[in-house]
Structure 1
Amino acid sequence: MKYARPIYVTRPVLPDLPDFLSLLEDIWSTRILSNNGPMLRRFEAALGEYLGVEHISIVNNASMALVLSLRHFGITGEVITTPFSFVATSHAIRWAGAEPVFADVDPVTLNVDPAAVEARITPRTQAILAVHCYGQPCDTDALGDIARRHGLRLIYDAAHAFAVRHDGQPLVAVGDLSVLSFHATKVFNSCEGGAIICPDAATKDAIDLMGNFGIVDETTVTSVGLNSKMSELNAAFGLALLPRMDAALDARKVVASRYWARLKDLPGITCLCDPAIPGRNAYAFPILVSPDYPLSRDGLYERLRDEGIFARRYFYPPIADLPMYCELPSASAGELPRARRAAREILCLPLYPDLAEADQDRIIGLVSAP
């Protein structure tokens, strides 16, 4: 029987309303709504402390953050990236004036495969844009080694990797730059927003300048910039939410652990993200639905929808199969077999901190006995 209330793949965490209203009162008292105001500066400081990073530039969304990152390094040639991601990753490369080149993924993590990356390098290659898919860390050592040996910039799309730690360190501190997303679907959100984690103050200052039209002061403009500023309202939302994040992350792991315990041995189903691994954030619960399962992946997707349960095929189709990219040589038929197989088999089950146990039991039951 279909649920009266739909269950979506995610549901945003909200700040405690009194905390948010208190910050709104501060905004009302200043009447500063944008232009890197005091609320944004408070948010940057608090977020940097929470994540364990020193230099962070908050922007209006992660797509803009990716464009700014590529523009900061003057990337106009080829950027090797993954075909298994949200389309914004490749779109940002194009908007920055560069060209994506797709490399296949690792079959276990579904992150871009370093060996496949190195095989795609040409004299036109200028950067690697890798994605920590579902918050699982890329092989950062191997990618870093490739970037150093070939003189490439290494940028991470860390949209899924809020608060993830790897080898005891913040994952977002790895690479030349890392980009976070604070969209409403993410582990942490400011309704809309994003951030660039910078290695030093000079880089942060340069990105902040580019994101403020290139304006230095009232009469001085030094470069052709963009407008990437986050509003004070969004900054207040994010600032009010930060105190809830430890509890929200713990609750996500409880939900993910229930899925893992009951689905990891199910024939035809492969669970990808073990919530017991230290430092992970349980961003999603992706499964691969193989031909051994009684239903196809799309059959299971529709079966759940019939019951009002909206799982998502993150990421299908692969970016390389979209009309604006499918003519690229790296996207041609016969290339990217692991990414294309993953796109055919992937399904992300609903996961958010307050997913009721009874609702989760229903989802698990439908997957276990379709």
Structure 2
Amino acid sequence: MDRLPLIAPRPPRLSDLSDALRAIEDRGIYSNGGPVVRGFEADLRDRVFGGAGDCLAVGNATLGLMLAIRQAAGPRAGRGMFALMPGFTFAATAHAAEWAGLTPLICDVDPGDWSAAEAAEAAAFARYGDRIAVVVPYATFGASIDLDRYAGYARLGTGVVIDAAASLGALDAQGRAFGTGAPFAIVYSMHATKVFATAEGGVVHSGDAALIERLRQMTNFGFAGARSAEGPGINAKLPEVLGTLAAEKLKAFEAVAEHRAMLDRRYREQLGGFASDNGFEFQVQQGRRQAVQCQSILLPRAFAGHRRGIMAALDAQGIGTGCYFSPHLGEQPWFRANAVIEPLPVCDDLSARILSLPITDAMMPADVDRVCAALMEACARLGRDGLEGLERRGTFVHSTLIVGGGPAGTALLTAASKQGRLADLAAGGMAIVERDAVLGRGSIGSYAITSDSTAETFLTAVKDNVHEAVAALEDHVSGQEIALHKGGRIGVPLYRATAFIEATGAQLGRIVIDHGGHVATRSEVVEARREADGIWAARVRNLTTGQERVMRAASIVIATGGYQSRDDIAAEVIAGSPLGALAGNRLVTGDDFLSLGGVDRLRVRTADMRAPRIAIVGGSTSAMAAAALLLKAAPALPLGAGAVTLHHRRPLRPFYHSAEAAWDDGFTDFGPDDVCPGTGFVYRLAGFRLEARELVLRMLSIGGRAPDPRLALRMIPQDEAGTRAAIEQADVVIGALGYRPRALPLFDEQGRRIALMADAPGRPRLVDQHCRVIDAAGRPVPGVYGIGLASGHVPDGKLGGESSFSGKANGLWLWQNDIGQMIVDQVLDSNAARRVA
């Protein structure tokens, strides 16, 4: 049976256009707005857009977007200004905004027509106001959208550019070509995969001919008449050869668009009644005709987690499929690191369930029937063998279930890969369940601080890795950005590290899948119960669809990180009284202050205060990070001498690479028990590093450094009365008192909740010295391990560290190396023993 590809380009054949190509050669004009391109622009304006305004052909639609967005932004293009766009669109939209000098501001979409939601746009305007220089809605999948709404934005002074890449051929409600006569730029694609298929190219249309002329000037380096740039510009011209293809395509274009619309109607007829109360969902159509590049449907929620299996089943029958746009913009590492992303629940839902089916110029209704029959059969088979089958009943046993695929969970994979054992770990049926859309990031990118791990630590995760795809990340653009911070005294800004750790997570996840493992994103493990045979049965919920299933595993690794509870922070006894009683409603958790926007929230709280007083309570890295944020805020906060006080229980210790380095710097407050016997490091575990270290050295006046007069240090045991008074008199109190482990509810064979050490008050441990999760009595829970923030492992023995250290060891390097390897060894040994048994 013939294969039905998802997309089958059918541009005009150059071999049939020899006369037109020879004419180009004879004229000797190949670009720069030659007669072929100019003739095509005029014909398109007259035949498609009814003579309204004008058209401009460009090298491709992305160039058209870049030009149009830059022109619409005008002098507002620059740092801190936004281009508002929906999350459910192609990456080119956001890239074009960045190239035009704007930051993408990504909002949610409407659940019906999948275009930007009016309420989401309104919320963005309410929050960001005139910082939104341009709005760039997407006419989703060749649809028509409400241009009146955007004309309203334009009248209020906001630039508007419509990304209509796939909509050349769409008809609006009045039967006109979508975008006809619009007062702003409408950008269409003529890529080979589009309904208006050429090799490459784009078109910008507007009812404002003067606007098109300004854009035309920008396509030619900003030249106006003389060869002297009078404004922004690039080379975006469409060459004559591609103009020839476009002119030829225009001749038969109407029939192509109508044929594809007929195939779309056939799909809707065939699939519209499937599983009536839980069926396939189609995009709500706006306008008289959609320009259909491929057929986009949403899978029933019960089948969303089985999309890969459905696509494989269709592929086996010679039917090509895709999933545009999954991931959506808010799920892609570059934009997660470089855009501002509003809540995207509808985008998340669409991305999880979207399935793209074939529509091509050569297809006939019988081909659509074949695709629909194959799709329904695949779903019916999954209903019998999948949704009600092995995995849902929990009869398949995964060797290991990693609960959490953030920095700690992926650090475990990194540790395995460094030993060359990741494939072995995955081959046993390892599964990873992560709440986010991707592996790696966790919540690390939501903080406004720098890392306490060096750039070198981040890069050692990939350097010389046995897996080539992982090793190549050292030269990836995100790896190069991390490398800029090598050798520095200040760590990598956490929000700038996310692209790298997500790229690393993506490669590690692929290795796991390629070797028989399983990765479930946008999912969470609700609880796990130990069965009589020692296997753990975990209840896993898909956060997008709400569907639940049981995953059985011989071992579980909890890598869900830590958290701060305001109630716990308030209950902490400081200078003889609960901190909450001393601070009242002036108390802010350290976690909230350190997150993105924390300084701005503090500005709002203290806006009416001429000289605010701020007390930080805690002696951890997060406490020092809070102090650093306050002192380096830009614009500066109105902090006078001693305005910030940091209250800590134990002396603040800086890290040094050797005792000699400490002595040379004038630091002598350490003894033999404070030196790691394995490395010679002074305060290897207890010492502050990077930015926090620099601040500690200043405040302790080490090596002749001058303290910052705005900050005062106060040892609580030495001056409890002073601490109480400072907290009671402070305008804001930041409780930076560490994190609690986020434990997973565990139940025994009788269904009774297992009380864990992590459930105890304060800041308890999750694990013992072998990274085994421990119950309330300190006994290891069989087959359950823990890693990550607040897990509580204290390195000893061959792991090194100073003998005087008694706190929790949190550090990316330890997770990616010694601690991670400890868990990998135990899990693989357990897997081997289980196979022998």
TM > 0.5 fold call: yes
Higher relative contact order (CA 8 A, sep 6+): 1
2:257/2:291 contact within 8 Å kept: yes
Please show how residues 1-370 of structure 1 align to structure 2 within 5 Å: 3=1, 5-15=2-12, 20-52=17-49, 53-73=52-72, 74=74, 75-76=77-78, 77-121=81-125, 122=128, 123-149=130-156, 151-168=157-174, 169-173=176-180, 174=182, 176-217=184-225, 219-267=227-275, 268-273=278-283, 278-293=288-303, 296-327=306-337, 330-331=340-341, 335-370=343-378
User: How many angstroms apart in 2 are the aligned matches of 1:125 and 1:277?
Assistant: 28
Shift of 1:142: 3.0
User: How many angstroms apart in 2 are the aligned matches of 1:97 and 1:246?
Assistant: 37
SS in 2 for 1:369: helix
Shift of 1:160: 1.4
User: How many angstroms apart in 2 are the aligned matches of 1:105 and 1:218?
Assistant: 45
Provide Cα deviations, 1:100-134, integer angstroms capped at 9, x if missing partner. 11111000111000110010121311111000001
User: How many angstroms apart in 2 are the aligned matches of 1:146 and 1:38?
Assistant: 37
User: How many angstroms apart in 2 are the aligned matches of 1:205 and 1:54?
Assistant: 10
User: How many angstroms apart in 2 are the aligned matches of 1:219 and 1:135?
Assistant: 38
SS in 1 for 2:301: coil
SS in 1 for 2:84: strand
User: How many angstroms apart in 1 are the aligned matches of 2:223 and 2:93?
Assistant: 27
Shift of 1:231: 0.8
SS in 2 for 1:72: helix
Counterpart residue type for residue 201 of structure 1: A
User: How many angstroms apart in 2 are the aligned matches of 1:38 and 1:222?
Assistant: 25
User: How many angstroms apart in 2 are the aligned matches of 1:345 and 1:148?
Assistant: 37
Provide Cα deviations, 1:132-185, integer angstroms capped at 9, x if missing partner. 001222233334334434x21121000111132223133223352110001111
Shift of 1:8: 1.8
Which 10-residue stretch deviates more, 358-367 or 323-332? Answer: 323-332
Counterpart residue type for residue 9 of structure 1: L
User: How many angstroms apart in 2 are the aligned matches of 1:143 and 1:233?
Assistant: 35
Residues 6 and 232 (structure 1 numbering): CA distance in 2 closer, same or farther, change over 3 Å? same
SS in 2 for 1:130: coil
2:103/2:340 contact within 8 Å kept: no
User: How many angstroms apart in 1 are the aligned matches of 2:9 and 2:196?
Assistant: 8
2:270/2:372 contact within 8 Å kept: yes
User: How many angstroms apart in 2 are the aligned matches of 1:329 and 1:295?
Assistant: 28
Which 10-residue stretch deviates more, 48-57 or 227-236? Answer: 48-57
Which consecutive unaligned segments of at least 5 residues does structure 2 have? Answer: 379-837
Residues 213 and 153 (structure 1 numbering): CA distance in 2 closer, same or farther, change over 3 Å? same
Residues 155 and 369 (structure 1 numbering): CA distance in 2 closer, same or farther, change over 3 Å? same
Counterpart residue type for residue 64 of structure 1: L
User: How many angstroms apart in 2 are the aligned matches of 1:276 and 1:116?
Assistant: 19
Provide Cα deviations, 1:186-228, integer angstroms capped at 9, x if missing partner. 1102210001113323212211111111223454442342000
Shift of 1:299: 2.3
User: How many angstroms apart in 1 are the aligned matches of 2:9 and 2:280?
Assistant: 26
2:62/2:93 contact within 8 Å kept: yes
User: How many angstroms apart in 1 are the aligned matches of 2:216 and 2:150?
Assistant: 27
User: How many angstroms apart in 1 are the aligned matches of 2:104 and 2:202?
Assistant: 22
2:296/2:354 contact within 8 Å kept: yes
Count of equivalent residues: 364
User: How many angstroms apart in 2 are the aligned matches of 1:276 and 1:323?
Assistant: 32
2:279/2:300 contact within 8 Å kept: yes
User: How many angstroms apart in 2 are the aligned matches of 1:124 and 1:219?
Assistant: 34
Counterpart residue type for residue 172 of structure 2: H
Residues 27 and 328 (structure 1 numbering): CA distance in 2 closer, same or farther, change over 3 Å? closer
2:191/2:197 contact within 8 Å kept: yes
Shift of 1:276: 10
Which 10-residue stretch deviates more, 210-219 or 283-292? Answer: 210-219
Residues 195 and 220 (structure 1 numbering): CA distance in 2 closer, same or farther, change over 3 Å? same
User: How many angstroms apart in 1 are the aligned matches of 2:232 and 2:136?
Assistant: 23
Shift of 1:18: 7.5
Which consecutive unaligned segments of at least 5 residues does structure 1 have? Answer: none
TM-score normalised by length of structure 1? 0.91
User: How many angstroms apart in 2 are the aligned matches of 1:95 and 1:40?
Assistant: 26
Which 10-residue stretch deviates more, 248-257 or 89-98? Answer: 248-257
Shift of 1:368: 1.6
User: How many angstroms apart in 2 are the aligned matches of 1:292 and 1:171?
Assistant: 36
SS in 2 for 1:172: coil
Q: Work out which of the two has the higher radius of gyration on C-alpha atoms and give 1 or 2.
A: 2
Counterpart residue type for residue 7 of structure 1: L
TM-score normalised by length of structure 2? 0.42
Counterpart residue type for residue 24 of structure 2: I
